[in-house]
Amino acid sequence: MRMPRGGRLFLATCLGSLFVLVLYFQSITKPEPGVKTGSRPGKIRRSPLQALYNGDQQLDLLAAQRSLQGRRELLEQACLSHTRKRQVLSSEDLKHLIVDDQHSLIYCYVPKVACTNWKRVLMVLTSDGRYTDPLSIPANEAHVPGNLRTLSEFSVPEINKRLRSYLKFIFVREPFERLVSAYRNKFTRSYNTAFHKRYGTKIIRRHRPDPEPEALEKGDDVSFREFVQYLVDPRTQREEPFNEHWERVHSLCHPCLIHYDVVGKYETLEPDSQAVLRLAGVEGILQFPTSGKSTRTDGNMAARFFKHISPFYQRKLFNTYKMDFLLFNYSTPEYLRTR
């Protein structure tokens, strides 16, 4: 299997103290040479990128590769059809890209798409034996800044090198299921007082007629309808970017500017995750944690939440998240009433 045409490469210019990354196309015929393993000094192993594009003798991996290749091709076609390529990325745009130098991996994390477990896995992979079981790592520790390195921390030449030679992967989810999951987690759980204060009070102040003083103070009873009104209110994004938990995937990970080798999906999380671990050469050492949640947000649950949203606001919300539907090949939900 060969590398796709249009492999991307970043060059850098310097404007004052800010590095700007300029994207252009370069024809790449093969991944860079293999790297030495940490477990067997002197032994050369294929990088994950080589394992993906050069193929493997295992039939089950070949089947997974074909599925992943199909998603990459669909994403590239959608980018060509629906976006105007923005030619610059700043270091700020790379803060969601986590780097594992030991296994030549770059992962763009998307909140509410199993990112806690993926961060746990990467903490195990980069810990030099300090961690062995992902589920032994507390969820809050997985999100502590500094526990994992991001691409934004490197110099421009180092960024270029990693983007060319590392396996870059992302996991995505049906946009409205992800949105409902974010609402449930951040606004209906009593322990998320920081979100209630930071966002709930603002949402209630703007979108609830005659709110009670207690609601204005605590912000802990935001309805889904009020949350939707907040998201489509033009003032919201004028004042500040969306919080990462409800920001669009294309704004977090820039999939039309950064060439992702693997596009995993939440709907097929376990096999897609195992495919990535197999490409990284650690499948026999590490298992991706399985979800034990009994109330996971799915399409049926999302439909119940949207039932009480007017067609006007459904249409505005769909337009807000439309690019994620298009880029990642998600159909318009059947429950949506946009007319």
pLDDT, tens digit, 9 for 90 and up, residues 238-277? 999 999 999 999 999 999 999 999 999 999 999 999 999 9
% helix, strand, coil for the chain, step of 5: 45, 15, 40
With beta carbons less than 8 A apart as the criterion, state whether 25 and 7 touch.
yes
Ranges 21-30, 145-154, 190-199, 303-312: which has the least confidence = 21-30
Which DSSP category does 300 fall into?
H
Give 209-246 pLDDT, tens digit per residue.
Answer: 999 999 999 999 999 999 999 999 999 999 999 999 99
**pLDDT tens-digit map of 44-73:** 567 888 888 775 545 565 666 778 888 999
Can you give the pLDDT at residue 85? 63
CA proximity to 175, closest of 329, 5, 2:
329
With left for phi above 0 and alpha for psi between -120 and 50, is residue 104 left, alpha or beta?
left
Per-residue CA distances from 150 to 26, 91, 119, 246, 261 (Å):
24, 10, 12, 20, 18
Share of the chain above pLDDT 90, in %: 71
Once rounded to an integer, what is the mean pLDDT over residues 187-202? 96
